[in-house]
Amino acid sequence: PVTTQGSQQTQPPQKHYGITSPISLAAPKETDCILTQKLIETLKPFGVFEEEEELQRRILILGKLNNLVKEWIREISESKNLPQSVIENVGGKIFTFGSYRLGVHTKGADIDALCVAPRHVDRSDFFTSFYDKLKLQEEVKDLRAVEEAFVPVIKLCFDGIEIDILFARLALQTIPEDLDLRDDSLLKNLDIRCIRSLNGCRVTDEILHLVPNIDNFRLTLRAIKLWAKRHNIYSNILGFLGGVSWAMLVARTCQLYPNAIASTLVHKFFLVFSKWEWPNPVLLKQPEECNLNLPVWDPRVNPSDRYHLMPIITPAYPQQNSTYNVSVSTRMVMVEEFKQGLAITDEILLSKAEWSKLFEAPNFFQKYKHYIVLLASAPTEKQRLEWVGLVESKIRILVGSLEKNEFITLAHVNPQSFPAPKENPDKEEFRTMWVIGLVFKKTENSENLSVDLTYDIQSFTDTVYRQAINSKMFEVDMKIAAMHVKRKQLHQLLPNHVLQKKKKVNLEKGVKLTALNDSSLDLSMDSDNSMSTSFLFFFFLFFGRNSPAPAVTAASVTNIQATEVSVPQVNSSESSGGTSSESIPQTATQPAISPPPKPTVSRVVSSTRLVNPPPRSSGNAATSGNAATKIPTPIVGVKRTSSPHKEESPKKTKTEEKTSSTDLSDIPALPANPIPVIKNSIKLRLNR
């Protein structure tokens, strides 16, 4: 619905929202209302609005769950011999938070819920008797308890809707129906797990109370969340922003333009945050001290808080930074996306473009010339889910290491993961793959520049394996692989619809996926015409617990024309233009943006060639190569159900010295593991 806020204009004085005065109190014009209606029509095909019938079904399911909670708490109260007068009014309630509570959930989205119980109900009761009660419900499927999680949770599917239920025990004898969880006094005498569980509801409720108009906020947030997902910058775990962070940025925009409607707010969102002077924090209200001695975000007190690059502070006590995972690279990527979003919405407001342009998905796989591909594999689907979760939670550590390398300008991980081709077609194996785009600094004076990523990869894999073993999750055949891939080789790993571009892949040149097993990826026939004299060598980076040495390593020794390394036009993430009209108080100490780059770690590693490169021609054709294109093309989809290529055996014969039109399909296979092991080495040689 389009809300013009006309009624609010006639009620002076208008309520003040946020920590600063608004930038503009302008009321929406007719053109703004038309643009907002067009925005709604553009959003509909993306499934961001749920049908009324589905919404009513969710309400019904939550009602059933709420009744189950009340019934369970009465049973617990009776078993503990509480007075009948208390039992009759003991209460208990299900609260919701997250996207459902904010009113911006999409079709088929899950529901985040919180079970609030009185003081005589223990957490152990929640994970035993309540769990057993849920198990008896015929509508409940896929019931599982994660009691040892940082925030303990019961996960289930209730009549087709996925629900995560947290638990909090309050220091109250009864739970009234009109309980307001924003009351800070409720946190007194609670254990830390209950405080963490309450935090989601408290933050969500505060956000809704801190925006001038909830309908305008919701529609704007739907648009921004869709834009962020389409542009691959929606992932808290990988160092971008999660749902609550995007909600707080939109809420701050609404505070600065309290009378604006969605079409204007989307534009102002990009205006404000493309010019925001990070690391100044985004605050929806002044932090309050409740004297409960809980740790809060405060760079004046906590030195570690001074190093946060993009602080967005939750409005409920205890205040926390919701973006502590953001790195130099992810902030750089997001600020560049804000700037591009501003340029597009400028065009939309001038009727030079449609809203659909804002939601076009750029092709991540055409954006960079160099990529690191990570693969995680496990022997069963259940183990894969656990293993992938752990690996994904640590990828930001690898990105942080890569971006500190003195020769790397940017390390951009795509939040979307993909099924990977099997290592062995005859073996049951489940593999997941992530892709990290790299931008290398241009060299000016160095003729031969070697970039050694060995230490970065080794540190990452060691961290993952150590945690898996310490948490007793590790199983034999759980593996990680890493390799360096150039843009034109990505088609050998990813489905065609993901790599959609104008030109067809040069399959006629004989580039084939020779193997994704314990040997090599034969990419000697380099189809990248801008790097036609480059030689590519790959080693896989696998190692298992029972292996005396790594089974295979992933590595590459690559010659790169340094003058042609693709550097997207990404400026410093600090503000380069005008400043926002508002004034944000500076923190006591200006946070450091990044530590000084670490020295290159040199290891004595033998460089074993997997393929014999063709002889260099005297005329270096690579010098006339085209720079990498910056123009993205839309991604039609990102899912696939099977590997795009049939696996073949590893090949390493003299036949490989033929030209790029050679058919390699008839080359006989060598015995398994024909390549000497090189432990965790990824080296790139940048030549002028």
Residues classed as catalytic: 99, 110, 112, 164, 225, 234
Cα distance between residue 299 and residue 322, in whole Å:
14
544 annotated among ligand-binding-site residues = no
Outline where 527-644 has alpha helix (H): none
Cα distance between residue 199 and residue 201, in whole Å:
6
Q: Which helix (H) or strand (E) holds 93?
A: strand 93-97
Q: Which helix (H) or strand (E) holds 71?
A: helix 52-79
**Amino acid identity at 4:** T
111 annotated among ligand-binding-site residues = yes
Residue 369: burial class (beta carbons within 10 Å; 0-12, 13-18, 19+):
buried
Residue 140: burial class (beta carbons within 10 Å; 0-12, 13-18, 19+):
middle
Cα distance between residue 145 and residue 166, in whole Å:
10
110 annotated among ligand-binding-site residues = yes
Instruction: For the sheet with 93-97, list strands across it.
Output: 93-97, 111-117, 161-169, 153-158, 140-146
224 annotated among ligand-binding-site residues = no
557 annotated among ligand-binding-site residues = no
Name 121's Cβ contacts closer than 8 Å, sequence gap at least 6.
Answer: 73, 76, 77, 92, 169
Instruction: Tell me the two tokens of residue 293.
Output: 């001695």
CA distances from 233 to 224, 239, 329, 413, 452 (A): 11, 9, 12, 9, 28
382 annotated among ligand-binding-site residues = no
Lookup result for tokens 């004595």? 604
Lookup result for tokens 């975000």? 297
636 annotated among ligand-binding-site residues = no
Q: Which helix (H) or strand (E) holds 367?
A: helix 364-367
Instruction: Tell me the two tokens of residue 346.
Output: 């400028």
**Amino acid identity at 410:** L
99 annotated among ligand-binding-site residues = yes
Instruction: Tell me the two tokens of residue 339.
Output: 């700037």
Name 607's Cβ contacts closer than 8 Å, sequence gap at least 6.
Answer: 537, 557, 683
Name 256's Cβ contacts closer than 8 Å, sequence gap at least 6.
Answer: 18, 20, 22, 23, 24, 268, 272, 582
234 annotated among ligand-binding-site residues = yes
Closest CA to 318 of 296, 286, 288: 296
Closest CA to 218 of 201, 204, 238, 233: 204
CA atoms within 13 A on the CB side of 191: 10
Cα distance between residue 408 and residue 109, in whole Å:
38
Instruction: Tell me the two tokens of residue 2.
Output: 């389009």
Cα distance between residue 265 and residue 541, in whole Å:
47
Which phi and psi (to 5°) does residue 258 adopt? -65, -20
97 annotated among ligand-binding-site residues = yes
**Which residues make up each annotated binding site for ATP?**
97-99, 106, 110-112, 164, 225, 234, 243-244
**Which residues make up each annotated binding site for Mg(2+)?**
110, 112, 164
**Which residues make up each annotated binding site?**
97-99, 106, 110-112, 164, 225, 234, 243-244
